[in-house]
Structure 1
Amino acid sequence: MKFERQRREGPIRGTRTSLWHHLLLWFHCTSTSLQLFILTAVTFGIVLPLVCHDLLHSYYFVHRWHLDHMSWEFLEQNLEEGQAAVQYFDSLRLLNSSLMVSANADEPSPKPWLVITIITVQRQLEYHYPMQVMSRFHQLLARCGKACHHHHLFLCNVDQNPQNHQDAQLLAKFFPTTVRYNEKESASSDGDSSSNIFEKEKQDYAYCLAKTLSTFDTKYVMLVEDDAVPEDDIFSVLHHLLLARFSESALGDALYFKLYHPEKLQRYVNPEPMRILEWIGLGMFLGTFLSLLYAWVLGHPVIRRPIFLFFMLYSMALTELFGRHYLLELRRLTPALYNVVPVTECCTPAMVYSAASAHRILGYFSELHCRLGFAKDTALYSILREKGEWAYVVEPNLVKHVGLHSTLRRKNSEPKLL
């Protein structure tokens, strides 16, 4: 039986080997131009579409096949994580009631190195966004141990009806909390800020920053919106950046560090000059490697300049179409690999300020009026040009933006990941 099976399979295997050999031989005999054309067609017409059709941040992502399903799965997972956060604080309350603290944010506090202030307003209750964020920070601080001994959590409730913000009311039993609006103020709030939600957001942000500075004598402030869940390595990366890479001066004298930029805006084809330089450098590195591999496979003694140029452009196109976001994820191997580049404009889910730069921000904000098309993230970016300041963004992101339901743009009854 064994002999018969070998006898039957032998010709088939031999045929496959012969076919592969003939293909290689034919490829060797074709012109260089045809070889490179075939490689390009196979890579960008067959391989990448097959590999990347379900990668959310790739150019080859097929929206009509995957977006609705992936968005639904994301929301379902978000619901589960919200319930897990509720259970987490229930277990803390039952196991150790001594963890509960007074809600009076004006009580004296020991000098911390970093205060993490969560800015919260009431939104979709079933997702428990602020509880997700606070529970995750609480877990990471406990895991961090002595290295995070001088890190404090602080909750800033800026809802105009704070007594109705159930999650904030519960969290106030565990963490120092400040409330911007009381019942009288919420009933007769300033007309401009109540009608202009962009100006209100800026004023709320400034209030939380100022309240943090007045309550804690801290060196750094991290302002986090209540739908930005921290990544596992956030504290190890921050410690490396602030204590090692930028140890000579706070934040390297920058106005702020941004810890999140939307993945869909992280591509190379974007108006950030430093990103273009990174793209060219990566193309040259991969182009050199692929040129050497090509020369070795075909037995060429030297690499010709046109071949190198082709593989450089080929690599640049490959990395852009595959998705820069996925290349950035490789930097999570160690904090030393994280990238710090000149800041980009959009979005402020998580920002780090030194005490000195926070005071400068408050002064600048008092001179600015936000409106549609000029929200607080745009205002922050405009300060850099007008005041001669500079700022940085950390790559990859140190928080995950889990809130598909925006408090500013409320027309997303069916939220999508993109």
Structure 2
Amino acid sequence: MNFLRFCCCRSAIIKRQICHVIVLYILVFCLILPPICYRLPFSVYYSQKLYLWNLSPSAYARQVNDERIAKAVEFFVSESVSARLQDESLLHIGNLSNSSSSNNTNVSTTVAFVTTRRTRSLHPTEEYSPRYLLQTVAAVVRENQPSTRILICNMDPEPSAHTDAVYLSEFFSVVSRYGDDEVSAPHGKHEKEKQDYVYCLKKSLQTNPRYVLMLQDDALVVPGSLQVLDYVVRTKVERTRHGWDFTPNNDTRKLLKLHTPEYIQRDFHTVKPKRIAANLAELVGYGLFGGTLLRLLHIILVEKGQSWTLFSGFFFSSVVCCILAALAISRPHLLELRRISKYLYVMLDANDCCLPATLLPTAAARELVSFLEGETCGPGYPLDTAVDDFVSSKGYQQFAVEPNLFRHIGMYSTLHGVENTYLKHFVK
């Protein structure tokens, strides 16, 4: 009789827990996540049609871009800013300190913008200019951390037609490769991109910096990211090795990618085993942390403190629920939580893709110039692939800093001649 009573009580408890788990899953996946995530481009709940209603992605992108242009124009025409920029000392912005040196002196870093005109025909008689360069330079200047030189490489075949570069030449160093009869643009777009990159690297090295930060003109710095970059360089590149070995390390044979496309940040099919392990560890961490919180809430609100046993069927169901919720939200959006503190940023093996924002030590930049001068780029061998070949052949390491320190705001590709029409490729 006692055994039957025990079995009945146990069965009732299990049924109650199953009901609680079902209610939890319905609340999370049907009531909580959909209204939160329908605006998040990489979430499984994202709906571009619901987010934009009758507005086309192109119109929305131009609207947001125009807002940034207005802010950048207002910034540069401000009398106080204009007066500051006229001071030659303020041609040096940002700060990466050489903590590995014995005297701890501040060392200059050259921020080089590779830029050209990007226009798009809206109507047969109307063209749209996104004016990325004005926005991205203004964003770096707003960081207001003295001692790093800004260099603008105007790679337009008609330099004088790039009006933003001409305007910014009043405040910053601007160099042009074309515009006379001595140098003509290569026929292939990929080869031109490579030669322009090499030219800008060479000009950057003439300023004798310790680091070169190579930026495409549509790489927009996230506010506060230069301070984070300084911290990453000091603690993860110059003073310590990557991983758990905290031996002082003066070897800076490391390249940092400061923007990774979001679709790469969320993948688990990368060829980088350490990235897969790190992503899986993150996912399990979300599950354990969220599952523990949900179990504690269940004890307090539902069980009324009758049992304080953490490990139960509800706990394990909650862990699975949080893992599935993390996958539904998507890793690029969860990475934004790490912006709370510079100590939460991570440095992972970089995937073999993309060069919107790259930090190179001077020695690496010089070797890269020599390497690229001996390569020919084309549709099957773009610049980023050539840089990856350089990294692997010369014994360098290539890391990605996450969350991204720069955002890619480009709607129009000068290389591929296409417009991004899906909102996940455009950030506000």
Q: One fold, TM greater than 0.5?
A: yes
Q: Secondary structure at the match of 1:127?
A: coil
Distance of aligned partners of 1:113 and 1:241 in 2 relative to their CA distance in 1, 3 Å threshold? same
Distance of aligned partners of 1:98 and 1:207 in 2 relative to their CA distance in 1, 3 Å threshold? closer
Q: Residue 255 of structure 2 aligns with which residue? A: 256
Distance in 1 of aligned mates of 2:379 and 2:135: 29
Residue of 289, 296, 315 corresponding to 2:293: 289
Distance of aligned partners of 1:371 and 1:306 in 2 relative to their CA distance in 1, 3 Å threshold? farther
Q: Residue 80 of structure 1 aligns with which residue? A: 67
> Contact conserved, 1:117 with 1:153, CA < 8 A, in 2?
yes
Alignment of 1:21-32 (within 5 A): 30-32=15-17
Distance in 2 of aligned mates of 1:85 and 1:78: 11
Distance in 2 of aligned mates of 1:157 and 1:415: 29
1:43 paired with 2:28, answer yes
Render the CA deviation track for 1:163-208: whole Å, top value 9, x for unaligned.
221111121221112111232146x44xxx32x2122212211211
> Contact conserved, 1:100 with 1:175, CA < 8 A, in 2?
no
RMSD, matched Cα: 3.0
Greater Rg over alpha carbons, structure = 1
Q: Structure 2 stretches of 5 or more lacking a match? A: 1-11, 89-105, 120-127, 241-248
Render the CA deviation track for 1:42-78: whole Å, top value 9, x for unaligned.
3223332232122223121012222555653332131
Moved more, 35-44 or 87-96: 87-96
> Contact conserved, 1:93 with 1:99, CA < 8 A, in 2?
no
Q: Secondary structure at the match of 1:183?
A: coil
Q: Secondary structure at the match of 1:257?
A: strand
> Contact conserved, 1:161 with 1:183, CA < 8 A, in 2?
no
Q: Residue 277 of structure 1 aligns with which residue? A: 281
Q: Residue 159 of structure 1 aligns with which residue? A: 156
Residue of 113, 123, 128 corresponding to 2:108: 113
Following superposition, the deviation at residue 251 of structure 1 comes to 8.7
1:172 paired with 2:169, answer yes
Distance in 1 of aligned mates of 2:43 and 2:372: 37
Q: Residue 135 of structure 1 aligns with which residue? A: 138
Calculate percent identity across the aligned residue pairs: 27
Distance in 1 of aligned mates of 2:148 and 2:71: 24
Alignment of 1:339-418 (within 5 A): 339-412=346-419, 416-418=423-425
What TM-score, normalized by structure 1, do the two folds share?
Answer: 0.79
Distance in 2 of aligned mates of 1:287 and 1:415: 34
Residue of 208, 218, 221 corresponding to 1:227: 218
Q: Residue 55 of structure 1 aligns with which residue? A: 40
Structure with the bigger percentage of strand: 2
Distance of aligned partners of 1:174 and 1:29 in 2 relative to their CA distance in 1, 3 Å threshold? same
Render the CA deviation track for 1:307-343: whole Å, top value 9, x for unaligned.
4443322211111211322322222222222121111
1:211 paired with 2:218, answer no
1:326 paired with 2:333, answer yes
Q: Secondary structure at the match of 2:318?
A: helix
Q: Secondary structure at the match of 2:209?
A: coil
Distance in 2 of aligned mates of 1:256 and 1:286: 35
> Contact conserved, 2:257 with 2:401, CA < 8 A, in 1?
yes
Distance in 1 of aligned mates of 2:293 and 2:389: 41
Structure with the bigger percentage of helix: 1
- Count of aligned pairs: 371
Distance in 2 of aligned mates of 1:254 and 1:126: 39
Q: Secondary structure at the match of 2:254?
A: coil
Residue of 232, 249, 266 corresponding to 1:241: 232
Following superposition, the deviation at residue 350 of structure 1 comes to 1.1
> Contact conserved, 2:211 with 2:360, CA < 8 A, in 1?
yes
Distance in 1 of aligned mates of 2:237 and 2:421: 43
Q: Residue 107 of structure 1 aligns with which residue? A: none
Distance in 1 of aligned mates of 2:391 and 2:282: 23
Render the CA deviation track for 1:361-391: whole Å, top value 9, x for unaligned.
2233234332224322233234444444211
Q: Structure 1 stretches of 5 or more lacking a match? A: 1-26, 102-110
Residue of 172, 180, 183 corresponding to 2:180: 183
> Contact conserved, 1:115 with 1:154, CA < 8 A, in 2?
yes
Q: Secondary structure at the match of 1:315?
A: helix
What TM-score, normalized by structure 2, do the two folds share?
Answer: 0.77
Following superposition, the deviation at residue 268 of structure 1 comes to 5.3
Q: Secondary structure at the match of 1:256?
A: strand
Distance in 1 of aligned mates of 2:298 and 2:395: 48
> Contact conserved, 1:112 with 1:217, CA < 8 A, in 2?
no
Following superposition, the deviation at residue 407 of structure 1 comes to 0.9
Distance of aligned partners of 1:286 and 1:91 in 2 relative to their CA distance in 1, 3 Å threshold? closer
> Contact conserved, 1:117 with 1:222, CA < 8 A, in 2?
yes
> Contact conserved, 2:255 with 2:396, CA < 8 A, in 1?
no
